[in-house]
Amino acid sequence: MVEEKSLLNRIEDAMGAAKDKAQEVGAAIMQKAEGAASGAKREAVKTQALVTRKAKAAKVSVKRKAKAAEAGAKKTFGRAKRKVASKAKAAEAGARKTLGKAERTVKRKVKAAAAGAKKAAGKVERAMSPKKPAAKRKAGAAKRGTARKTTSARTAVKKGIAKVKRTARKAGAAVTKAAKGAVRKPAKKTAKKTARKRKA
């Protein structure tokens, strides 16, 4: 009986010791788990703060870059606008200069044609004016000569008038063509350069 009690006591002591050891191990595990959870929580807070700071910095950087890009775009647009205005002004001045030259050329040609017509008319007038009496034997020849001169003078007048009309038409066409060419060519160049800038 004594031996049985002693064995039971030892078993109870061993069980108690194992229980105590288990409690100690459990407490240690709980402590470690709490420490790990606390560390993980601290790391999560640090990570969240870092992410927030980086997000704010990225947002500020994006705003700054967008503002700089907008300012650059406005500057480029202003330059392009001034360039287009300058070229349009130069084209207008060129067109006016070309028109002035064409008008002067037309006036000169019309004046020359009018002078030719006037000269031809003078010939007609001189041919048709009565001449001093001549000998009878020369009367027939004089009449024929006068008729030839009259016909020639009339033909010259007609040719002169036709030449004046042709010159006026050609000059008018030249003025129109010069005006259109002077106005359109710079506009085409400006449009091409603007298209290139937009593509770029």
Q: What does the pLDDT read at residue 62?
A: 92
Is a pLDDT exceeding 80 seen at residue 152? no
Burial class (CB in 10 A: 0-12, 13-18, 19+), 80: middle
135 secondary structure, DSSP code? -
Q: Do 157 and 117 contact (CB within 8 A), yes or no?
A: yes
Domain boundaries, the chain: 2-199
Q: Which secondary-structure segment (H or E) carries 175?
A: helix 139-199
Residue whose structure tokens are 């990225």: 58
User: CA 66: distance to chain centroid?
Assistant: 23
Q: Is residue 87 pLDDT above 70, yes or no?
A: yes
Q: Which of 2-11, 75-84, 124-133, 155-164 has the highest mean pLDDT?
A: 75-84
Q: Give the pLDDT score at 110.
A: 82
Q: What DSSP string describes 80-125?
A: HHHHHHHHHHHHHHHHHHHHHHHHHHHHHHHHHHHHHHHHHHHHHH
State how far the alpha carbon of 158 is from the alpha carbons of 66, 145, 150, 163, in Å. 77, 20, 12, 8
Dihedral Cα 183, 185, 188, 194, nearest 10 deg: -90
Task: State the Cα–Cα distance between residues 82 and 199, nearest whole angstrom.
Answer: 19
pLDDT per position as a tens digit, 29-54: 888 888 888 888 888 888 889 999 98
Average pLDDT, the chain: 76
Closest CA to 183 of 92, 105, 85, 80: 92
Residue with the bigger pLDDT between 156 and 77: it is: 77
Q: Residue 134, SS3?
A: coil
Write out the DSSP string of 5-51. Answer: HHHHHHHHHHHHHHHHHHHHHHHHHHHHHHHHHHHHHHHHHHHHHHH
